[in-house]
Amino acid sequence: MQEPPIAAPRQSANILNSPRARVALTRTASLVVLVVLWQIMASLVHSRVLPAPDAVGVKLLEYAADGSIFFQTGITLARVAAAFVLAMLFGAAIGIALARRIRLDAFFDSWLVIALNVPALVTIILCYVWFGLTEAAAILAVSVNKVPTVATIVREGARAVDRELLQVAEAFALPWGRAFLRVYLPQLFPHLMASARSGLALIWKIVLVVELIGRSNGVGFKLGIFFQYFDIVSILAYSIVFIVIVLAVEMVLLRPLERHLSRWRL
């Protein structure tokens, strides 16, 4: 453990040169380049259909000041959350059930394949037609689109469950709930996480369509209105907020959760 005398200056240089810092720098630079390209394109085209980033920024601040953008995204977020929770719960339950019962799986497998291939728009229209233009129908339509994907991914995980560990729970006569939460579910975690990731990405997009077709508030509804008025600036302003929120959920919720639950693998 001999420290060379030049250690101190070299260390400060190391922080900038560390691989992580360089990656972060590259990511930031790429975002800046994107905005600059956008600005250049906008000034070249100089058209109503491609507003410049500064115009979009001003509009964004305006909506933020009157609070409308927070209200609308808040409503959309609530719908996303509800649909996400429902889809994860039912999808996981179905996936686990199918993995455990071979006959059940043989019977419902083709249903699952069909469900996976029903276009989202069809489910949405059918839900609205059958259950009316209600909040429940909207959330149901979104969840139904997602349940088959979750079920398929979780089924894969549940098939690969380690029976030897389940035997431990049985041999020590663990209460059912504890065996499920501490022995069974942790084995499904990578698959639950994968389906949560892909699920969130899908649900964000479908919620907007559901709002566009049958709701009178939310980001999707607002985008529809802006489209009718050809208000591209507002559409882009809303999109940016939306993208930022999606990234924030990924970075603030999903990644730390994943890191916490898989720390034993390190």
Partner 1 sequence: MTALTVDIRRKIYRQPGARAEHVALDGVAFTVPEGQFACVVGPSGCGKTTMLNIIGGLDRAFDGKVGFGEDGGAVRPRSAYVFQTPRLMPWLSVLDNVRLVLKNGATSAQARDLLVQMGLESTLDSFPNRLSGGMQRRVALARAFAIEPTLLLLDEPFVSLDLPGADHLRGSLLDLWQQRPTTVLFVTHDLREALQLADRILFMSASPGRVVLDFRVDLSRPRRADEPGIEAIRRRLLAEHPDLLAGLPPSTSAAEALEGAEPTRE
Q: Count CA atoms closer than 13 A to 94's CA, side-chain side.
A: 21
d(CA 101, CA 106): 9
Locate 64 and state its tokens.
Answer: 């933020």
Please, which residue, 184 or 221, has the CB nearer to partner 1?
184
Query: Least Å distance between CB 119 and partner 1?
Result: 39
Please, which residue, 46 or 265, has the CB nearer to partner 1?
265
Please, which residue, 36 or 181, has the CB nearer to partner 1?
181
Query: Least Å distance between CB 264 and partner 1?
Result: 4
Locate 259 and state its tokens.
Answer: 């890191």
Query: Least Å distance between CB 184 and partner 1?
Result: 11
Please, which residue, 62 or 258, has the CB nearer to partner 1?
258
3-class state of residue 172 by DSSP = coil
Locate 248 and state its tokens.
Answer: 């924030």
- What's the one-letter identity of residue 153? I
Judge contact between 73 and 241, C-beta under 8 A.
yes
Judge contact between 191 and 154, C-beta under 8 A.
yes
Please, which residue, 3 or 164, has the CB nearer to partner 1?
164
| Residues contributing to the site for partner 1 (CB under 8 A) | 164-165, 167-168, 170-175, 178, 182-183, 186, 189, 261, 263-265
d(CA 148, CA 197): 15
Q: How far apart are the first and last CA of the chain?
A: 26
Query: Least Å distance between CB 176 and partner 1?
Result: 13
Query: Least Å distance between CB 96 and partner 1?
Result: 18
